[in-house]
Structure 1
């Protein structure tokens, strides 16, 4: 949350377009979303009420497969905001999915998307507590209450006994440990950027070099 996903997505799409490559920015809140597996659930923000982790993972992979097939016949390059580790993977964690299921899901997702030759950008910050407290301060008490009431009611957080803002911080520490491991093992072209300093011009230059795009 607040790591710069949307900002970076828009910048990447802009640079692709300026380089003569048609780009399609896909924000995480796009409706309908091409790959988000919770969209058709009655309680899309509480998927544990309608589905098992395995059902959600299978549905997500099916949607990704359909997306890949559709993209292969299009000319636009989709630039997605947070759909590999954010979105459905966050829901799998909240649903208290087994670690093996999460790992298998991401490996299968990498295999499904491989024909598109994807590039994965992983934004992270060393101090999870500071990162969470910073975005909470920026977005205010109402947003904090929403996040706490929603996420800490999930089966994973209930089992862990996480409460309040401190519980939200603990959740994201757990989440970061998982996504760090998943990113290390991801068999795709990838780049990790530690962006605590918020030096966006430097990060932008680094990304453009990796994508071989003019700065």
Structure 2
């Protein structure tokens, strides 16, 4: 586990006005998002769990595109990144006016950044996007929880086995039709694994550069009680019995 918190940070349960749970598909983002929201509520904090499938979604930039599933047909990576930052900035302004703590299922990496990556944005475009987005959300003093699995291939094969052939076909037909995958001739499950190796390499680097509180947990062991205790500690919340 890697934890980056300032001295004296975790004691105050109100210091983080935004929590984002990140990781590749099947990492446990949605489950942990719900756990965090419930824990905040039990600590008398108003929490707003926001699942990745929320529709309409408050920050997702592809929602209003004609081909939201294939944004490369409607927009450039730069345009999509600008839309994303604008949506986030408006959301942050709204949240600053109240006392609700939104708990996001992805959307820093897993979401619009995934599409910007699939659209084959260059490294400088992605870096500028993340820097601008980090500045936009900084007023909420976010905590980013990043679930990571050392063996990407094992993690992808596991989630594919759990979710079944229909879900695998959905992922392959979507993500391997994107410009990034087509140029590299990624195909089938092996191509999906190769894609996520590249994606995870990118998100590892971006996570390291985030300028606010962050917690990385290697969760291949699936020891969820231990992982959740670490999350609660980072949030300054009491451990749940």
- Output the TM-score relative to the length of structure 2: 0.88
Match of 1:57 among 78, 81, 86: 81
Alpha-carbon distance in structure 1 between the residues aligned to 2:91 and 2:47: 15
Question: SS of the counterpart of 1:96?
Answer: coil
Number of equivalenced pairs: 215
Bigger RCO of structures 1 and 2 (CA < 8 A, at least 6 apart): 2
Shift of the alpha carbon at 1:45? 0.7
Alpha-carbon distance in structure 2 between the residues aligned to 1:79 and 1:146: 27
Partner of 2:189: 165
The superposition leaves residues 100-138 of structure 1 with CA deviations (integer Å, 9 ceiling, x where unpaired) of: 111111111111000011100101100000000000000
Match of 1:187 among 198, 204, 211: 211
What is the CA RMSD across the aligned residues, in angstroms?
0.5
Partner of 2:145: 121
Partner of 1:203: 227
Alpha-carbon distance in structure 2 between the residues aligned to 1:147 and 1:71: 33
Alpha-carbon distance in structure 2 between the residues aligned to 1:26 and 1:147: 22
Alpha-carbon distance in structure 1 between the residues aligned to 2:65 and 2:103: 25
Shift of the alpha carbon at 1:17? 0.5
Alpha-carbon distance in structure 1 between the residues aligned to 2:128 and 2:95: 24
Matches within 5 A, 1:17-56: 17-56=41-80
Alpha-carbon distance in structure 2 between the residues aligned to 1:17 and 1:191: 21
Question: SS of the counterpart of 2:65?
Answer: coil
Task: Give unmatched runs, 5+ long, in structure 2.
Answer: 1-24
Alpha-carbon distance in structure 2 between the residues aligned to 1:35 and 1:189: 21
Match of 1:176 among 189, 194, 200: 200
Alpha-carbon distance in structure 2 between the residues aligned to 1:52 and 1:178: 19
Which 4+ residue blocks in structure 1 deviate beyond 4 angstroms?
none
Partner of 1:138: 162
Shift of the alpha carbon at 1:144? 0.6
Shift of the alpha carbon at 1:74? 1.7
Partner of 1:72: 96
More helix by share: 1
Query: Is residue 93 from structure 1 mapped to residue 117 from structure 2 by the alignment?
Result: yes
The superposition leaves residues 140-163 of structure 1 with CA deviations (integer Å, 9 ceiling, x where unpaired) of: 011111111111000000011101
Alpha-carbon distance in structure 1 between the residues aligned to 2:61 and 2:85: 8
Question: SS of the counterpart of 1:40?
Answer: coil
Alpha-carbon distance in structure 1 between the residues aligned to 2:58 and 2:106: 13
Shift of the alpha carbon at 1:75? 1.7
